[in-house]
Amino acid sequence: MKNFKKSGINLFIFLIAIAAVFLLGSSLISTGSNDSISLYPHSNGRTCGTVEFNELQMKQHPEFRINRTRIEEFAKNYSMPQNRSVITIPVVVHVVYNTQQQNISETQILSQIDVLNQDYARLNSDTTQTPEVWKPIGANSQIQFCLAQRDPSGNQTSGITRTQTSITEFTGSNDQRIFFTAQGGQDIWDRDRYLNIYVCNLGGGLLGFAQFPGGNPQTDATVNLYTAFGTTGVVQPPYDKGRTVTHEVGHWFNLFHIWGDEPDCNQDDEVSDTPLQGNSSSGCFTFPHTDACQPNSPGIMFMNYMDYSNDACMNLFTQGQSTRMNAALNGPRASLLNSNGCIPVGIIPISNEIPTEFSMGQNYPNPFNPSTSIKFSVPKASFITLAVYDVSGKIVKTLVNENVNAGIYKVDFSAGDLASGIYFYSLYTEGRLIDTKKLMLIK
C-alpha cells in the first residue's frame, strides 16, 4: 500500500510536469517567437533580433549569404584614410502605428536623430563615463544623420512617414509585414539613397533588429520598438536614451554584437580593439567587470553600444568599429555617398563635376559648436559669393560677397537662435555654382 501511494504521487507529479512543459511550448508556438526571444522579454533585459532576422533572410535569399562573404572580405582589407570628410546619411523614419500612443511625435523623432548624431560623433555628454583605459580608442565615426529633405521622387518631405495599420503588434524579427504597404506596413524607400528606420509596436520581447549590408533591398532597414526610440515622449526606462537605435544602426553599418553572438571565447565581433567577451551584458555593471574570456581588469567593454547594457550605461564605439562602419560606407553602402536626400528642394544639388581649377575645402571642425572655418580658392580674383543655408533653403549667413580669389572664413553660430542640425554652404563665382557642402551644428 505504501509503495502504491508513493507511485501514485510520483505519477501525479510527472503528469503536472508534462502539462507545464506542454503549456510552455504552446505559449512559445502561439507567439511565433523563438526561445531566445521568449525567455528574455525587454522588461528584463535588452533584446535584439538581428541575428535571427538575418539568418531567416539568408534562408529565403541564398545570394545574401554569398554577398556577406564578399562584404566581410572587403571589410577585413579596408584601411581608413587619415583625412576623410564627414558623411551625412539621409534618414526616413516610418512610423507604423495602431493606436495614437504608437504614433510618436515629431519631437520624439528629432530627439532620436540628435542622439544618433551625438553618439556617432562621440559628442555624447556621457563620454566621461568611458573608462580611462578605453578613452583613447573612443571614436568619432565621421558619420552624421539628417531627416530626408526630398523623397525618392524629388519632392519635399519631412523625412517622416505615418501609416496607420490594423496590426496590433508586429510579432518579431520573423514578421516582415512591416516592410510592405499591402500587408499593413510601409514600403521601404530606396535603400541605396536612404537609411530606413521603422518605428512600431514590436512584439516578441524585442527592442529592435536590423539587416546587415548585402541583403534584400525590400527589407534593408532597422525596426524599433516605439517606447525605445529617442529620449522624450512615450519612451520607457531603462531604454529611454536612444541607444537602441544607435545599436541597430550599428548593425546596419555591418557591426556585430560585441560578444560575437556565441557564449564562448572563440567567437569574435571581427573588431580588433574590442575585447573578447563570453556573452551579452545586461543592466549596468560596475567597472571593471570580468568574465571567463576577460578574467582580469579592465575586463569586458560592457559600455559599448553593441552590447546589451541599459541605455544609460552605453557610451562608445571604438576606432575599430568606426573603421568597419566606414568600410560599409565605402563598399556595400557606397551609393549613399551620392544621395541628395539631405539637400532641400530649392537648393541647387551638390555639383558632381567641380572644375579642377576651383577649390573649396571641407570645413573644419565638422560637426562644430559654435564655430568652424571654410577654406576656398579660385584661379583669379572674381566676384565670389559664399553663403550658408538652413535645410529649408533660407540663407542664414553670407560670408563673402566681393572680389577675392582665396581665403579662410570663420562661421560663428554662437549668437542668434540657430538650432542644432544640418546646414549647407555654397560657393559661387560670377554667379556660377562651384560646389555645395554640408555642415553639422551640435549645441
- By three-state DSSP, how is residue 280 classified? coil
Distance between CA atoms of residues 11 and 15, nearest Å: 6
CA 193 – CA 89 distance, rounded (Å): 8
Candidates 52, 63, 106, 248; catalytic one: 248
Cross-strand bridge partners of residue 89: 145
- Phi-psi region at 231: left, alpha or beta (left = phi > 0; alpha = psi -120 to 50): alpha
| Cell triple for 346 | 530649392
Q: Is omega for the bond preceding 298 within 30 degrees of 0, making it cis?
A: yes
Burial class (CB in 10 A: 0-12, 13-18, 19+), 266: exposed
Identity of the amino acid at 21: V
Distance CA 281, CA 393 (A): 45
CA distance 49 to 37: 8
- Tell me, yes or no, if 248 is annotated catalytic: yes
User: SS3 of 317, please?
Assistant: coil
Question: 3-class secondary structure for 321-346?
Answer: HHHHHHHHHCCCCHHHHHCCCCCCCC
In three-state secondary structure terms, 29 is helix
Spatial separation of the C-alpha atoms in residues 304 and 306, rounded to whole Å: 5
Residue 392 CA, chain-centre distance (Å), reads: 24
SS3 for 426? strand
β 87-97/160-164 pair status:
parallel
- Residue 80 φ/ψ region, left for φ over 0, alpha for ψ in the -120 to 50 degree band, beta for the rest: beta
Catalytic residue numbers read 248
